[in-house]
Structure 1
Amino acid sequence: MKNDFKSFELYEIYEKSINGKIKRNDIVELWDLDVYDLLYVAYRIKKTYNKNNIDLCCIINAKSGKCPENCAFCAQSIHSNTKIDIYGLKPKEEIVKFAKYMDQYSNRFSIVTSGKKITYDEFERILDTIKEIKNKTNLKVCASLGLLDKDQLKALKELDVRLHNNLETSEDYFNEICTTHDYKDKVKTIEKAKKIGLEVCSGGIFGLGEDFKERIKMFEDLKNLNVEGIALNILNPIEGTRIHSMIEKGEIKRITPIEALKSIALCRIMMPEKEIRLCGGREPNLKDLQSLSLLALDGLMIGNYLTTSGRAISDDLKMIRNMGFMVNL
């Protein structure tokens, strides 16, 4: 195995990763390595775990806008001045119809709602919708419903739903992007979900003005929380949000494709066995380099996102197959 690597240094990184001996400080020191070396190590780790399939997921924005939270990046916040569709919880029939359509392309389907919390009535309607999706499709169901209590988490567990709850960034940087709820609120929800046996997907957004060390701190928290899935996003600044204004004024810089790819590769090196997928923002940020991210990934989100459009699903399927990977359906 050692002789298969282009250098002993890269082999040492690989060995520390797969043996669970790599620490946050190790990852920080790797940042200055060439992006292609990092992707090479990430790919060798992926191969070690026999990860040749790309798992596809999709979402539906089931309740849009009027969110009282002040997340700097969010087009659905009442603190933003964006031109998005605003509506209450979509009817069961509409959500199920879309799920049935996406069943031909995707392995996972996530119901996402805006706001810090949903009402009791909304939660009951979502449970009914999940039951229908499970009855009418082969999709695994995920739910991103804000902060949930123990009884709500138990109800999702009974339906074998995977909870999605992003940390967004590191704890130290969180107050720079949101002050209406706390980082610890998110951590507590994830911990409660894990305690009752719920699978959890969590992650964050690259390019909020944080430096790479903040991203690595977030990776460390995700690793310690032992979530099953890692959802990585790259900021797509939407006009009317605070983060868009900060970029326009030069207060923060847009993330570069190379920086984003390095971050993805380091996430794999830090968490070799985890299910890592790339979600929003890949099209405008990575452009022609999207295919390189697959070397470090287990999954992609396909279709449209919450308030922005994705690219044609057929293009993503073609990219995956052209890179020599298989689609996990």
Structure 2
Amino acid sequence: MRVLGIETSCDETGLAVYDHERGLLAHRLFTQIDLHQAYGGVVPEIASREHVVKIVPLVRETLAAAGLRVGDLDGVAYTAGPGLAGALLVGAALARALAWALEIPSIGVHHMEGHLLAPLLEANAPKPPFVALLVSGGHTQLIDVQAIGAYELLGDTLDDAAGEAFDKTAKMLGLPYPGGPHLARLAASGRAGRFRFARPMCDRPGLDFSFSGLKTQVLLAWQKSDQSEQTKADLALGFEEAVTETIAIKCERALQQTGARTLIVAGGVGANQALRALLADLGRRHRFQVAFPRHEFCTDNGAMIAFAGALRLAAGHTDHGTLNVVPRWPLADLERV
């Protein structure tokens, strides 16, 4: 089964083709970062209009890269939510139009399930059960995965997600949008030990996260400092260490609580080198497997949607010919494959 995946949940237009027998055949991505930079964040109307402009040319480019014609497709998968309603509708409308014209099934995919399954695109991918860490600009969650579609939320963020905290802290330090990657690069030149911030909610049981107080600690430290470039780098490192070590502590607890021997990491913050190194070291010391997607599949992309959609279409799931997007959609509501 050859499935076209369409991702338009926010500010990136992602397309991919996944084949059950041959794996990922091709993927393409257009990012709108430059368009939104002047506003310091995503403008939903601009995002939706840009998807309209880019999506059809990207479909053609992706199919050509896969060596396929549109009539060779056996199914279409698209992000149905969560995300920006207008952006979601662009991808959903094209997917349903293709499915209707080609008389093939289509399926609306949960955006976070796509992220959760992205590490399974890699060679020697683990199989459930495992614990999944979803860590991005909008989510910081630990999930017990017993099977595809069988998800139990173990811990969630009570305020800012990790990626959101990275972006807001970067903005406080005067770094350009999007701030998270800039802050991580700045932290590489920071001096260890100059600033040590709290590891939020690690002094109590449970697996929930909270990063808003940490952001305030950084702001107060910055206001009291000499505000030099070196101090900025030292603060960035102190902040990054606090976030990544907090996440690692909670991951270790989740594995102990569930008895799982595998941790998969997904979402945009999963590309952070400090976090990857910390979790990989944790896995080596405690002898559990840690699986990451390649960097290009940490952020939003069409490959994860094509893969997740192919799994569900193969199991007989479809959207039954309806065009429906769900801007707010709990992961626990999904049907087991």
When normalised by structure 1's length, the TM-score is 0.32
Q: Looking at both structures, which has the greater relative contact order when contacts are Cα pairs under 8 Å and sequence separation is at least 6?
A: 2
When normalised by structure 2's length, the TM-score is 0.31
Larger radius of gyration: 2
More strand by share: 2
